[in-house]
Amino acid sequence: MKVLVVDDDPDIVYIIRKILIKHGFDVVCAHSGKEALEKAEKEKPDLLLIDVEMPDLNGWEVAEKLEGKMEILIMSAGEGACIKKPFGEKELIEKIKEKINRTTEYPA
């Protein structure tokens, strides 16, 4: 499963990328809403994990444009997020598995 991780904070992207790779996911990263749309079209991820607040297109705008093309998890410290920051490794993996809700075997 391929996950597109989007956050304008490179440290957060780095940490999430390491966690997902550890759990067997393929990871593509972007640091802005515009870059996320470009990577989504090129890489065709199964899931978008995106922060709300970014300098160009925000996470809600990107999610609206990609709705129906992949599963989407919004992360934010504010209300309305699918996964609320800060979160731990276990919660992140559980939320991803819950979101994809597939009968096939998940990465370890």
pLDDT (0 to 100) of residue 79: 81
Q: What is the pLDDT of residue 103?
A: 34
Question: What does the domain layout of the chain look like in residue ranges?
Answer: 2-99
Within the chain, which residues score under 50 in pLDDT?
A: 103-104, 106, 108
pLDDT digits (tens, 9 = 90+) for 52-67: 999 899 999 999 999 9
Contacts of 6 (CB under 8 A, 6+ apart): 13, 29, 30, 31, 32, 33, 35, 36, 48, 49, 50, 51, 54, 59, 62
pTM confidence score: 0.91
Q: What is the pLDDT of residue 102?
A: 54
CATH superfamily of 2-99: Response regulator (3.40.50.2300)
